[in-house]
Amino acid sequence: MVKVEENFLYIQSIKKQPVKRTPVWIMRQAGRYLPEYMKVRKKHDFITVCKTPELATEVTLQPIRRFGFDAAILFSDILVIPEALGQNLEFLENHGPKLSPQILEDKQIQTLDLQDIEARLSYVGDAIKMITSELNGKTPLIGFSGSPFTLATYMIEGKPTRNFKYIKKMLYHEPGRLSTLLEILTEAVSRYLAMQIEAGVQAVQLFDTWGGILPVHLYEPFSAHYMKKIAAELKKYDVPVTLFSKGGIELAKQLADSEASMIGIDWMTDLREAKNLLGHKFALQGNLDPTTLYGSHDIIRKEVKRVLNVFGGESGHVFNLGHGILPDIPVDNVYQLVDVVREISTDLHS
Ligand code: 1CP
């Protein structure tokens, strides 16, 4: 069993223990808005960074060194699972990820190979060991995966899309085929996250970036159901699980009967309403609108205050953005964000 450090602010707040201030980290904190990340990327392509433990360690630590965030997140991508299952993965400069061939027919689903998936992803375990050794008990490391539904969108569409035509066609015309794929992905994700926990991550997060394209009544059977299965599967490890869904309170509500410790709240949702509906059972993470970070320091202060006031001096909140940081955010504004979260939340907790 992996020992969870009791002195991590991030873990204490998830457990609703008293905290001296609100912990803060930001989704996509390692990435293109950081000049030191771009320096690494000038020399190495994205997949090479993910697959080389020394490089993955370096970029995971970059935002920790700069901002002293209260949690680090493993540098990797959700699409390493489809690749490990047998799809071909490329990241085309300025066009985003491409998976081929698209998964459209039963026979393509049958070629997906769950056997030895941990071995094909062993570079992730190696990176985790190196990162936790560098962090040396000072900052917890969060492992992650995409949710089965979000992974399925990329596997079926093959590339980023606006209308999700292929997966929605499958959803309505071949729902059994989509469920078969989601079952395979549920096993892959559960085993992958168990491997990450055994390698040393102190928490895990499931990103359901695209669950919000489902009509509300289909969110439970095609996305929430599988996320809950994974959270239940990981219960045996003493490690907090966060479920992040993007698509408003109606989706977050459908995670209420899960065995997760924390629910990630997107920027479209009223955090106060989320707290009223979910806060008695879960810690909440979020939910500053990422575009606030284009604003002046005064606007950032005002909006951070609004988010922090929802919890006041209570524990059970991890400050984050309501989705990933955008690549052209000025670094200076991230310093302002971290400073004001620390200053205001210290006052609220004193
Ligand atoms: O340098 C580059 O050009 C690559 C840009 C990049 C980065 C920095 C991609 C390609 N992925 C990542 C890292 C990443 N991805 C992390 C770790 C870094 C950190 O958080 O500090 C994480 C947690 C992810 C997760 C991820 N990848 C998600 C879920 C979270 C979210 O933001 O919604 C998704 C949907 C992806 C797919 C993906 N990977 C990369 C891109 C550009 C995309 C989005 C494609 C699209 O628009 O649909």
Is 4 within a domain? no
pLDDT digits (tens, 9 = 90+) for 180-190: 999 999 999 99
pLDDT digits (tens, 9 = 90+) for 35-66: 999 999 999 999 999 999 999 999 999 999 99
Q: From ligand 1's centre to the CA of 349, what distance in Å? A: 34
30 pLDDT band (50/70/90 cuts)? very high
Strands 88-92 and 96-100: antiparallel
Is 3 within a domain? no
Q: From ligand 1's centre to the CA of 314, what distance in Å? A: 32
Angstrom CA distances, 51 to 123, 127, 180, 185, stand at 6, 8, 29, 21
Q: Which residues line ligand 1 (CB under 6 A)?
A: 27-32, 41, 46, 73, 75-79, 91, 96-97, 144, 146, 160, 207, 209, 324
Q: What are phi and psi of 162, to 5 degrees?
A: -95, -35
Ligand 1, atom 7, lies closest to the CA of 31
Ligand 1, atom 14, lies closest to the CA of 77
Q: From ligand 1's centre to the CA of 161, what distance in Å? A: 15
Q: From ligand 1's centre to the CA of 210, what distance in Å? A: 13
Is 283 within a domain? yes
In the chain, % of residues over pLDDT 70: 98
Is 61 within a domain? yes
Number of neighbours of residue 281 by Cβ within 10 angstroms: 12
Would you give the DSSP letter of residue 96?
E
Residue 2: its pLDDT value, please? 40
pLDDT digits (tens, 9 = 90+) for 305-339: 999 999 999 999 999 999 999 999 999 999 999 99
pLDDT of 78 above 90: yes
Give the residue among 277, 340, 345, 342 at the shortest CA–CA distance from 314: 345
Residue whose CB lies within 8 A of the most ligand 1 atoms, among 65, 78, 79, 128, for a mutation test: 78
Is 23 within a domain? yes
Ligand 1, atom 8, lies closest to the CA of 31
Give yes or no for a contact between 93 and 43, defined as CB atoms under 8 angstroms apart: no
* 11-244-41 Cα angle (round to 5): 85
Ligand 1, atom 6, lies closest to the CA of 31
Residue 94: its pLDDT value, please? 81
In the chain, % of residues over pLDDT 90: 97
Number of neighbours of residue 7 by Cβ within 10 angstroms: 9
Residue whose CB lies within 8 A of the most ligand 1 atoms, among 24, 26, 27, 28, for a mutation test: 28
Residue 3: its pLDDT value, please? 45
Domain assignment of residue 174, given as a range: 9-349
Give yes or no for a contact between 195 and 91, defined as CB atoms under 8 angstroms apart: no
- Alpha carbons 113 and 109: distance in angstroms, whole number: 9
Q: From ligand 1's centre to the CA of 143, what distance in Å? A: 14
Give yes or no for a contact between 165 and 236, defined as CB atoms under 8 angstroms apart: no
Angstrom CA distances, 220 to 182, 183, 281, 289, stand at 13, 14, 19, 25
What is the domain count for the chain?
A: 1
pLDDT of 275 above 80: yes
pLDDT of 1 above 60: no
287 pLDDT band (50/70/90 cuts)? very high
Residue 115's domain is classified under what CATH number? Answer: 3.20.20.210
Q: Please give the number of the atom of ligand 1 that sits closest to the Cα of 28.
A: 20
Q: SS3 for 246?
A: coil
Residue 73: its pLDDT value, please? 98
- Active site amino acids: 28, 32, 41, 77, 154
Q: From ligand 1's centre to the CA of 77, what distance in Å? A: 6
Residue whose CB lies within 8 A of the most ligand 1 atoms, among 77, 83, 98, 321, for a mutation test: 77
Give the H or E element holding residue 60: helix 53-67
H helices present in 106-202, as ranges:
106-111, 117-120, 122-135, 148-157, 165-173, 175-199
Strands 72-73 and 203-208: unpaired
What is the dihedral sign for C-alpha 83, 89, 95, 101? negative
Ligand 1, atom 47, lies closest to the CA of 160
Q: What share of the chain is helix, strand, coil (3-state, %, to 5)?
A: 55, 15, 35
CA dihedral 247, 56, 32, 337 (to 10 degrees): 70
Q: To 10 degrees, what angle do helices 53-67 and 122-135 make?
A: 40
Strands 283-288 and 72-73: unpaired
Give yes or no for a contact between 208 and 243, defined as CB atoms under 8 angstroms apart: yes
Is 293 within a domain? yes
Is 1 within a domain? no
Give the H or E element holding residue 208: strand 203-208
Is 37 within a domain? yes
Q: How many CA atoms lie within 13 A of 216 on its CB side?
A: 7
Q: Please give the number of the atom of ligand 1 that sits closest to the Cα of 159.
A: 48
Ligand 1, atom 28, lies closest to the CA of 78
Q: What are phi and psi of 28, to 5 degrees?
A: 65, 35
- Alpha carbons 194 and 140: distance in angstroms, whole number: 17
pLDDT of 93 above 90: no
pLDDT digits (tens, 9 = 90+) for 211-269: 999 999 999 999 999 999 999 999 999 999 999 999 999 999 999 999 999 999 999 99
Give yes or no for a contact between 31 and 325, defined as CB atoms under 8 angstroms apart: yes
